[in-house]
Structure 1
Amino acid sequence: MYSLVTKPIIKRSHHIIESDNGNICIGEIPGKAKIIKSPPEWVKVVLSKLDGEHTLPRIIKELLNRNLNVEEHEVIDFIRKMISCGLVEDNIISSELLTSREIELYDRQLLQFSLIDNDNLSSIKYQERLKKSRVLVLGMGGWGTWCSLQLALIGVGTLRIVDGDVVELSNLNRQVLYTEDDIGKSKVDSAENGIYRHNKYTKIEKYFEFLTPSENRVNDLLDSVDMILLAWASLGYYKKNTVEDIIHKVAIDKSIPIIELGGDPHEISIGPIYLNNKIGKTYFDVKHQIKKTFYSDDSIVKDFQEARMKQQFLNGVRKVNAWQSSPSLAVMSGLVVDQVIKVITKYDTISLEGRKIKISLRDFSFAEEKLFNGDK
């Protein structure tokens, strides 16, 4: 009879608020909070006892001793409904994957998971999903280092990082994992050390190479991967036979989600996400559409866009073709990793499947490119 939970507790992420007219609200997130209108006195007593210290038999015994005009089955039914609504969990926390130190380390995001809790699970289960995950980060420049740092901070179990470059002095003010001691060293070795400084529980698989359009090599790098971050400027939409084409092809074959990102000092872009789940559209479904919308309807502007793609610069091949500073990188990577967490854990609904969001850092204007709706 008492096998619901051992020591029930109102989720630590949830407030219990009583209005002046006696109504009670548990939680504060629209669609997740529950309102109890004019509850009987015994309900308030039960709520006060759902503190993680009382067992269910003890709660019932205390209520019956206080003569609150409530039956045992009413208390059990009430707590069962609270559990089914995702408002109550067991205060007995244990994990076969996470150490007690890790559980304390991730305490605040465990609260975040329990706020939404789409799968109606203990927040520990969401953290375990992160622990078991392997995320591939392609490119360890500004985009890749900031995203890798945040992925490690939130507890992704394994990061597979790929880059064939070495650290330069000009990297240090924006590529967050490197220090002056790393100058001249490979980015993947230096990134590994930088990540370990922040979270020793994240494992690093490093590949010191520039990825080429080799399907066999891409297939190897995508083996056993749960999510891919394409952390370089993707030209696959505008050119033929690119490495991006191969990455997306293999990801579709292996059903691996991909998120794209980008930006410059004045604008950031997040998305789209391709879930590659055999339901939503893929990169190849929208590639022509994106290419078509990229080029201006103005023929003169289009001519210059095409010339730029061919790097037809009169002042020679530009030494720096893309750059971004730390403020915009920090914003962009936070928004990207938030979506990655949701793809992996499923604690909340993702927002960027088939969508690219652009944010101007000059005037904080937003623009959205809606590529598809998540189904065929």
Structure 2
Amino acid sequence: MVRRPRIKFSHRPVRYGEYHVRIGGIVPGVRGDLVDRDGWVWALLELLDGSRTVDSVTETMTKSFPRWPAGMVRAAIDDLVLAGHVEDADETASGLDEVTEERYSRSEALFGWMDRSPLRTGREAQVSLRQAGVVVIGLGGVGCTAALALVLSGVGRLHCVDRDVVEVSNLNRQVLYTEADVGRTKVAAAVSRLRSHNSAADITGAQADVDGPSSLRALATDFDVVLLAADTPREIRSWTNRACLETGSPWVYAGYHGPLITVGLHRPGEGPCADCEPAEQRARLASLPERTEWSPGIDKVVPQAANAVSAGCAGTLAAQAVISLITGVPALPANRRFGFNLMTMESVPVPAAAQPSPLCPSCGLAR
């Protein structure tokens, strides 16, 4: 129960003319529009500044608007709370020290802005991040940016896994490495750089091959979220999916196909798994006329088409998906993929299974 209700400053209302009130600003997914025929709504919002108890607000409103009963006032306050526009001015301390509070004050403000859960604060989300552990598999362009974003955002424990060394061709997009790191293992260079950004985080690494579901299962068991940022071997996404299905671990993957960025976010047991859509796609392709590949391109190895922008977008969006799984802010839908096209700067639909597929070899329905 809220004691001293206060409209979130980021959601502060604005009145347009006499009858229209907008709350939540201009951001879709947050803003709301209210009709205010007699000024009652605006008067209520003006009182919700955190200096008054619910009883005090109710008493003032019923005196100013006698035809509106106390129950109506309390119901309106409850509606604003449920919509995520209200915080409690009597919020409890977070337990974070003063330096940490200062470091993440802007993060807490953003969490508070995006969170539509009743009476949760940005501090709660920040504490959840600090208590969480994430494993990042693959320290290429996507993994570097994602790992950096998570460490800067306050994840308490981060483990990095990669088998490779830094090469000159990595330097156009893999933001954790410099020219001085060429020839050094990616894990050593990345862990060192990440620790320099946040000494309070527990950051570790392992130079290792991921060679099947069993090695991924061991990693998933030890961490709250798995972030797959590697695209080789080709089976690695399916391996990760199977491992996380077995452990019940939420996981994220991200990558790019030229200018098309894709991010997948999965919670096992709550819908189709990551192998459902590929299984359906294989069935669709089998029903189409036979494909003929362009012969000069068969077996030709071409460089990955990417730069710091495309890799960075994929990594940043992957980190956002991980943060959503840990904190619930924002509450992104799980068990689906998201797409973003750098050619148009717009989100794009990507194929996704609406429900678990009976053709899927991984989530158990085919057995």
TM-score range, shorter chain: 0.7 to 0.9
Query: Which of 314, 321, 329 pairs up with 1:332?
Result: 314
Q: Give the structure 1 partner of residue 335 of structure 2.
A: 353
Query: Which of 10, 15, 30 pairs up with 1:13?
Result: 10
Structure 2 counterpart of 1:263, which letter? Y
Deviation at 1:232?
1.7
SS at match of 2:112: helix
Structure 1 counterpart of 2:87, which letter? E
In structure 2, runs of 5+ residues without a counterpart are 358-367
CA contact under 8 A between 2:130 and 2:155: conserved in structure 1? yes
Q: Give the structure 2 partner of residue 267 of structure 1.
A: 259
SS at match of 1:300: coil
Structure 2 counterpart of 1:282, which letter? C
Q: Give the structure 1 partner of residue 117 of structure 2.
A: 119
CA contact under 8 A between 1:268 and 1:332: conserved in structure 2? no
In structure 1, runs of 5+ residues without a counterpart are 237-241
Q: Give the structure 1 partner of residue 354 of structure 2.
A: 373
Q: Give the structure 2 partner of residue 155 of structure 1.
A: 154
Please give the per-residue CA displacement for 1:134-170, whole angstroms capped at 9, x wherever unaligned.
Answer: 2221111111101111122222222221012222343
SS at match of 1:259: strand
Task: Provide the TM-score with structure 1 as the length reference.
Answer: 0.78
% identity of equivalent residues: 24
Q: Which moved more, 1:9-18 or 1:78-87?
A: 78-87
Matches within 5 A, 1:1-376: 4-5=2-3, 7-28=4-25, 29=27, 32=30, 33=32, 35-40=34-39, 44=42, 46-52=44-50, 54-56=51-53, 59=56, 63=60, 68=64, 78-96=76-94, 98-120=96-118, 121-213=120-212, 215=214, 217-234=215-232, 236=234, 242-263=235-256, 266-276=258-268, 278-291=269-282, 297=289, 299-301=291-293, 307-308=298-299, 313=300, 321-351=303-333, 353-355=335-337, 357=339, 359=341, 361-362=342-343, 368-374=349-355
Task: Provide the TM-score with structure 2 as the length reference.
Answer: 0.79
- Structure 1 residues 73, 218: CA separation in 2 closer, same or farther (over 3 Å shift)? closer
* CA–CA separation in structure 1 for the residues paired with 2:153 and 2:37: 41
Q: Give the structure 1 partner of residue 362 of structure 2.
A: none
* CA–CA separation in structure 2 for the residues paired with 1:221 and 1:154: 22
CA contact under 8 A between 1:23 and 1:39: conserved in structure 2? no
Deviation at 1:197?
3.1
Structure 2 counterpart of 1:25, which letter? R
SS at match of 2:349: strand
Structure 1 counterpart of 2:272, which letter? K
SS at match of 2:208: coil
- Structure 1 residues 22, 357: CA separation in 2 closer, same or farther (over 3 Å shift)? closer
CA contact under 8 A between 1:166 and 1:186: conserved in structure 2? yes
Q: Which moved more, 1:93-102 or 1:223-232?
A: 93-102
* CA–CA separation in structure 2 for the residues paired with 1:162 and 1:81: 46
Structure 2 counterpart of 1:88, which letter? V
- Structure 1 residues 322, 291: CA separation in 2 closer, same or farther (over 3 Å shift)? farther
* CA–CA separation in structure 2 for the residues paired with 1:75 and 1:227: 42
* CA–CA separation in structure 2 for the residues paired with 1:83 and 1:352: 25
Tell me the matched-pair count. Answer: 351
* CA–CA separation in structure 1 for the residues paired with 2:330 and 2:170: 35
Please give the per-residue CA displacement for 1:106-137, whole angstroms capped at 9, x wherever unaligned.
Answer: 33443333334243222222222222222221
* CA–CA separation in structure 2 for the residues paired with 1:179 and 1:96: 37
Q: Which moved more, 1:103-112 or 1:158-167?
A: 103-112
Deviation at 1:36?
4.8
Q: Which moved more, 1:227-236 or 1:158-167?
A: 227-236
* CA–CA separation in structure 2 for the residues paired with 1:225 and 1:258: 10
CA contact under 8 A between 2:137 and 2:229: conserved in structure 1? yes
